[in-house]
């Protein structure tokens, strides 16, 4: 496995030339893309440091105009360098770099096509994934549900990397900025990488909170009403420092 990852990192994986981006699609990296790639790599490494993913699971993307920068498939985040920038257009055609994009590219592109997202974070966070196997939506255990647009739905299971999974995810995201993927993980998006990441971290925390509260024998956690979550969401839109 380590050899396979090294091979892909060096562009020598199975399929040989299939690792290379076709010459007509390659172009030089613009300054704003180089800066966005630096932030993307930092965010990807943060998902590992904070325990939201293990190894190369999960993926991160950011949109710069009509180009989507995305983590490459199977490459440990601590090995990514400025030379590894990987980008596609909104149709999924490679425009930057020589590494193969994440296998979950259909999910990322589906969000960018359907929303005004500036960044997407996909994780395999353990508590959120556990909740995805238990309920059709995360119970309203905390007002931070409002930060994601309301009750967090669970998208039906589909094989990773497929258009079916992307379609299931979009239905679960209707009116939301985050959802759970059954037996798989989480997806959140935001205007920036920081916002998308924060929503992933908050979602994992709420799942852990619900699992903890639900584990007390003979007791059930109190839940918030839809109206309470909506009110909290409205207040949260004005949260933080004004710029």
By annotation, the residues acting in catalysis are 104
What is the DSSP-derived secondary structure letter of residue 72? B
Residue among 142, 159, 161 nearest 203 (CA)? 142
Residue 53 in contact with residue 125, Cβ under 8 Å? yes
Residue 78 to residue 55: CA distance in whole angstroms: 10
| CA atoms within a 13 Å half-sphere pointing along the CA-CB vector of 47 | 36
Using CA atoms in the order 90, 92, 94, 97, what is the torsion angle rounded to 10 degrees?
Answer: 90
Burial of 137 (0-12, 13-18, 19+ CB in 10 A): middle
- What the block records as the tokens of 11 is 């562009």
Beta bridge partners of 153: 137
């Amino acid at each position: 496995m380590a050899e396979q990852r090294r091979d892909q990192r060096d562009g020598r994986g199975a399929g040989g030339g299939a690792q290379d981006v076709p010459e007509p699609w390659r172009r030089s990296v613009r300054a704003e893309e180089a800066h966005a790639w630096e932030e993307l790599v930092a965010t990807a490494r943060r998902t590992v440091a904070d325990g939201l993913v293990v190894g190369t699971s999960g993926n991160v993307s950011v949109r710069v105009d009509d180009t989507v920068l995305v983590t490459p498939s199977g490459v440990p985040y601590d090995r990514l360098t400025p030379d590894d920038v990987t980008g596609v257009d909104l149709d999924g055609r490679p425009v930057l770099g020589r590494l193969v994009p994440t296998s979950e590219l259909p999910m990322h592109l589906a969000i960018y096509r359907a929303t005004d997202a500036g960044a997407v974070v996909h994780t395999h966070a353990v508590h959120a994934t556990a909740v995805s196997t238990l309920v059709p939506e995360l119970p309203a255990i905390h007002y931070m549900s409002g930060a994601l647009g309301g009750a967090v739905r669970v998208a039906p299971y589909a094989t990773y990397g497929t258009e079916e999974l992307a379609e299931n995810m979009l239905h679960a995201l209707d009116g939301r900025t985050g959802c759970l993927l059954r037996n798989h993980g989480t997806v959140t998006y935001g205007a920036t990488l920081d916002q998308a990441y924060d929503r992933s971290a908050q979602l994992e925390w709420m799942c852990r909170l619900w699992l903890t509260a639900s584990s007390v024998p003979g007791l059930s956690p109190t839940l918030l009403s839809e109206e309470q979550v909506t009110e909290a969401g409205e207040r949260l839109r004005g949260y933080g420092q004004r710029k």
